[in-house]
A and B are shown apart, each in its own frame.
Chain A
Amino acid sequence: MRRPFKLPELGDNIEGVEIIAVLVAAGEKVAAGRSLLEVVTDKAVFEIPADEEMIVTEILVRSGDRVGVGESLFIVSPTAADTPPATESAIAVVTTESAPPLPSESAATVPVVEPPTAATGLPKGVLVPAAPSVRREARALGVPIEQVPGTGPQGRISIDDVRQFVKQRNLASPERPGNTQPASPEGPAIPSQVALPDFTRWGKVSREKMGPLRRATAHHLAATWSTLPQVTQFDQADITPLELVRKRLTAHVEKAGGGKLSLTAILLKIVAGALKAFPTFNASLDLRTDELILKQYVHIGVAVDTPEGLIVPVVRDVDHKNITQLAIDLATLTQKARTRKLMPEEMSGGCFTLSNLGTVGGVGFTPIVRHPEVAILGVARSGIEARFAEGAFQPRLMLPLSLSYDHRVVDGADGARFLRWICEVLEEPMRIALEG
């Protein structure tokens, strides 16, 4: 049976994508998981895989097209393998006494469907007021109808209520830039810029369209910069002992499949500890209700430099993982980011961001808080410095750190304490085990 292959749900706040390239040809047979399209959203470039083995019979999109979630991309049909042997009609008239062998089918290979629940009769209690057509629409949009606030008489839910709910949910998602302003489909507008001079008066220029990723970053940063009063503080940690341990144990972690034991992996663990010790740093500000939303989970974004630009995959539940596991997660996410395999949900839900430019270089920098997070830690390149200790100058490996935070949420003294806490744990690695 032919069916349309549609753009799947890609995450809470993704409404559509722009197609960069079509990776299959009409008539091609593809295996499950094979990439069909390369697409880009305002957050990342990634690929859309085939959900099962199939034949692509028709291609409905071209590169450059913008398509929304649920729109058809291809017409596909199942491969011959999952249709019965080709008899002209459905009926194979065989008159046998004994039954032929069963079609090969072992319980182990057949995917198990979700356990059935009693579907008959009616659920108990009072059901929400929404007409059948409205409930159908909600199902199509993947919305649990019970969660939709109805604006009709006595809370009756209309189709508009369902659509509004979907929009609101997308806006409320913390990843959406400019949560505090009414959002246009393009995200918040870049603050109106002063008119540009005609540069050609001074020499030759060329114009280049910003890619979607660059454009999104520009919009997001402009909005953050103009709405969020931030402060940056600096500190340094003596990581001489930590570095010895790190070098000694890196082989151990590599054996576990985690790539190198990087400073970033260690810092993730330390930051998770700091977020527990200073809960206001793991929060978001809700200006509409004058409330601080405190998060009971610790997901940390890590800035990754890719050919397309900056991408921030999020490591989940950092507080529940050991450093080896974090190193493994980090290696996978970085690899995915660089090969465009990162899915939007792997870039959402972060509480705090870590930006390590140490491998690139630099003495120090002032990172910009990624709203609606309240703080970001910048890491620059470590270097040997002379330190006076025990009556003599000694060569010590010093790591420069910078912490930017939303000054509406965090006071200067707390900022200093937070950063100091991180430095002290870096200097006394045993504390990771004690406090992490």
Chain B
Amino acid sequence: MNETKDVVVIGGGPGGYAAAFLAASYGFRTTLVDMRSTPGGVCLHCGCIPSKALLHAAKLLTDAREAMEIGIDFGQPRVEIDKIRLWKERVVSQLTTGLSQQCLRRGVTFIQGQATFLGSNQIAILKPDGQQSELLFDHCILATGSRPTPLPGIPLQSPRVMDSTAALAFEQIPERLLVVGGGVIGLELGSVYATFGSRVTIVEMSPTLLPGADRDLVRVVAKRLEKLTESIRLESKVTALVERADGLLATLENSAGQAEELHFDRVLVAIGRLPNSENLGLEKTRVRLERGLVQVDRAMRTADPAILAIGDVVGGPMLAHKAAHEARIAVEVLAGKKAQFDPRAIPVVAFTDPEVAWAGLTETEAKKQGIPVKAVRFPWGASGRAHTLGQVDGSTKLIVDPETERVLGIGMTGPGAGEMISEGVLALEMGATVRDLAETIHPHPTLSETVMEAAEVFFGHSVHYFTPRQNR
């Protein structure tokens, strides 16, 4: 009797490897296929992890420089780019080989190769040595992720034009760098290069950096980036890019239609990501696509009964933690549980200096949807801990339903915001009220107190932040 079902996971990113590990622990016979030699996907090989490693290096440099202000002078730091790159690669390989070992230990068969569907229950795998093998399965979890979007209308192929992967290779520090795209990836990588000495220009089409975040939070990081970079051009775009012997000539055009030609050594294009749904043979299955995104229901099922899909390839916020959460749901669904993708919030973090993090409803989105909210802020200038860290520009805000006093959203900017946002996400998931946050004792002195104090501002009784409305 054949009692165990075969599950094949295509794509070894944070969605795919999580799905494979969980499937194995639920007793499925599990195979994980990825084109790379180790699991990890974009996140580990050329996304979250290497970018955070470089940001850490950049932060050390900034801190060392700023230490002067409090009386510590390290002298002129000597930066060895090659060593930083090697350290970054070691971080990545430690984590990815760790995943390979996990596969062995958990009984997940890892196959390196490119998968294409031959039907709803069969894939072909083209291995790096040119051999092709085939695999039958009962269920497939599709987690092929996404890739960078190229600049539309500018077909220039040049090593001087980098996508995020090339930028993370960290080959050299160009003198003049143009960053196209003021979203999370553009700002993170742009500030790494700026800190290591590039003169950076950032171009963003929309009227604000980090579209999606509330402007008051963005303002804090924008102010710092303005000092760090050569210029930030909002409501502008690149209309032409020409390669010259000594670099690139870029034409930037603002919303008023004024064009300007500027010289750069390199250009980093970070304008979004496209789902990897082509060349997969999906037409031989019943999976449905819309604008390249695999269509799934809340149980992560595609229109093909044998195939589920998770991660960047199904769209939504393209974030590693979203992919990993969907992985858990997909596997539970296969195991016959009534699981569903049903979060109250998916946190977003920009690991810029300082960090910006938000979750749930933003003030901007509330206005757009016409949801009445009260936004309360606690500026970090009133936090003792922020002063001891020499970081007083931060801010913590809560978006509250004035009627029920429920916390509908949370946002913060400042060092450690990416760590602290989770308290807010838990509050959102638990349906906490602003009173719950105000009456939870937070340790002193910490930045996490700002969450409690923001909640106290809602009631007009904050200890450390006086608003004229307070005495009523």
Contact = CB atoms under 8 A, between A and B. Distances in A.
Contact of B344 (A96, A105, A127): A127
A3 B336 contact: yes
Interface stretch (B13-21, B249-257, B297-305, B414-422): B297-305
Q: SS class of chain B's interface: helix, strand, loop or mixed? A: loop
B340 A139 contact: yes
A153 B435 contact: yes
A116 interface: yes
Contacts of B408: 126
A1 B137 CA distance: 13
A94 B405 contact: no
Given A2-B3, A90-B6, A129-B406, A110 B286 contact: yes
A121 B2 CA distance: 38
B132 A77 contact: no
A91 B429 contact: no
B296 A131 contact: no
B387 interface: no
A130 interface: yes
A116 B345 contact: no
A99 interface: yes
B121 A91 contact: no
B6 A84 contact: yes
A1 B295 contact: no
Contact of A89 (B5, B109, B137, B300): B109
Nearest to B1: A77
Interface stretch (A154-162, A206-214, A278-286, A403-411): A154-162
A219 interface: no
A120 interface: yes
B148 interface: no
A116 B371 contact: no
B8 interface: yes
A131 B136 contact: no
Contacts of A156: 430-431, 433
B406 A154 contact: yes
A155 to B, nearest CB: 6
A57 B1 CA distance: 10
B133 A93 contact: yes
A84 B138 contact: yes
Interface string B113-138: 00000111110100000011111111
B351 interface: no
B157 interface: no
A185 interface: no
B5 A1 contact: yes
Contact of A100 (B27, B134, B138, B435): B134
Interface string B197-228: 00000000000000000000000000000000
B106 interface: no
B29 interface: yes
Contact of B295 (A2, A57, A118, A139): A118
Nearest to B345: A122
A113 interface: yes
A90 B304 CA distance: 21
A119 interface: yes
Contacts of B138: 1, 82-84
A55 B343 CA distance: 37
Contact of A131 (B119, B301, B430): B430
A155 B346 CA distance: 23
B135 A154 contact: no
Nearest to A152: B431
A103 B119 contact: yes
Given A91-B31, A115-B303, A117-B297, A154 B433 contact: yes
B1 A92 contact: no
A85 interface: yes
A128 interface: yes
Contacts of B345: 122
A386 interface: no
A119 B134 contact: no
Interface in A64-78: 77
A111 B303 CA distance: 10
Interface stretch (B92-100, B234-242, B311-319): B311-319
Contact of B284 (A82, A102, A120, A153): A102
B119 A80 contact: no
A132 interface: yes
A221 B39 CA distance: 68
A125 interface: yes
B4 interface: yes
B288 interface: yes
B137 A84 contact: yes
Interface in B363-412: 369, 371, 401, 404-406, 408
A62 to B, nearest CB: 24
B371 A125 contact: yes
A233 B304 CA distance: 61
A55 B1 CA distance: 10
A86 interface: yes
A90 B296 contact: no
A119 B296 contact: yes
Contacts of A157: 431
A406 B31 CA distance: 67
Interface string A142-169: 0000000010111111000000000000
B342 interface: yes
Contacts of B4: 1
A95 interface: yes
B338 interface: yes
Contacts of B28: 1
A121 B316 contact: yes
Interface in B320-359: 322, 336, 338-346
Given A90-B31, A116-B303, A83 B5 contact: yes
Contacts of A80: 1-2
Given A3-B336, A99-B118, A116 B2 contact: no
A150 B430 CA distance: 13
A124 B29 contact: no
Given A83-B2, A155-B404, A119 B135 contact: no
A140 interface: yes
Interface string B79-93: 000000000000000
A153 B435 CA distance: 10
Contacts of B339: 136, 139
A114 interface: yes
Contacts of A120: 296, 314-317, 322, 341
A91 B133 contact: yes
**Which 9 A-B pairs have CB atoms at the shortest separation, nearest pair first?**
A129-B431, A120-B316, A102-B119, A154-B404, A84-B136, A83-B2, A1-B5, A116-B295, A90-B6
16 contacts: A1-B28, A80-B1, A84-B121, A87-B136, A90-B109, A93-B133, A96-B134, A114-B297, A117-B295, A119-B297, A120-B322, A122-B346, A124-B369, A128-B431, A153-B436, A154-B404
Interface of A: 1-3, 55, 57, 77, 80, 82-87, 89-96, 99-100, 102-103, 105, 107, 110-122, 124-132, 135-136, 139-140, 150, 152-157
Given A95-B131, A99-B118, A113-B304, 20 more contacts: A89-B109, A100-B134, A110-B305, A111-B305, A113-B303, A115-B303, A116-B301, A117-B295, A120-B315, A120-B316, A122-B344, A125-B371, A126-B401, A139-B338, A153-B433, A153-B436, A154-B405, A154-B433, A155-B404, A156-B431
